[in-house]
Structure 1
């Protein structure tokens, strides 16, 4: 009997945790691909210079519901010429309960949700690049927790600098 109560209690705790955070939908919001120097770029020796730009934006849609957009821009140059410019805005709609503290909510929309969205965005980018007949683009995983921590540290430093001024 006691074992049953422990199992039921654990199931209730898990169900409660699931109600506090839920994925409603994951979708591509915007996609762009440019290869301005084709076909000449295909004749050059492939020694790419890849630069990546990551950006996360979130919007409160309604109570407990947020849209988080992960924007990834990949620019690949060969010999100073742009081989391709690919951009994906991968988005998701997430439910986050009011009972979650503000600092934890900020972490969820700033790091946890982008971690969920990144594999989808990476696949879209890889697909666009290969369909344009460029060599495969495999993006390494991103530690969004570290990126978010760095962002918080920069905001704190800016606030301290403004307070000193």
Structure 2
């Protein structure tokens, strides 16, 4: 059935992911031992980074997706810097099948947000007096599968 303006039926609409807005929800950068931490070093610092993805549905087709990045650099047991970034986006998913909705929200949406979050971290680290930290690309599909496996392993076994 057409809608009267010649554009076809509602089912003719192609599936789409629209980033409505992106924003920093929370950000912290600490360089607690400056200026001592900014001196030359014989060895490269040890970098630790944790990534987490969260999402919540805010309307029928709209989802807020958050990437939580936490990281630190240490050298000879001294903290050089640490950061915490909660970067989010509001996404509208149109004409996506219910079976595909969760993987798209948890894989594709964070994949679209990541380059922006990565740049915020790199700029903050550089602003803290260090070379910019460019976080390696993240395989959000692998993170998603790992999380599904953890949930499955934690589920109680079915009673026979």
Name the TM tier (shorter chain): 0.7 to 0.9
Give structure 1 regions of 4+ aligned residues with deviation exceeding 3 angstroms: none
Contact 2:15 2:95 in 1 (8 A): no
Deviations 1:111-159 (A, max 9, x none): 1111011100000000000011112211110110111011111111211
- The offset of 1:98, in angstroms, is 6.8
Which residues of structure 2 form unaligned runs of 5+? Answer: 1-6
More helix by share: 1
Structure 2 counterpart SS, 1:119: helix
1:78 aligns with 2:72: no
Matches of 2:101 and 2:78 in 1, distance apart? 42
Matches of 2:48 and 2:158 in 1, distance apart? 35
Deviations 1:10-68 (A, max 9, x none): xx96x5223xx321111111111001111111235152110001011111112211100
- The offset of 1:100, in angstroms, is 2.0
Matches of 1:138 and 1:99 in 2, distance apart? 33
Contact 2:38 2:129 in 1 (8 A): no
Q: Structure 2 length as normaliser, TM-score? A: 0.85
Structure 2 counterpart SS, 1:62: coil
1:89 pairs, out of 86, 111, 121, with: 86
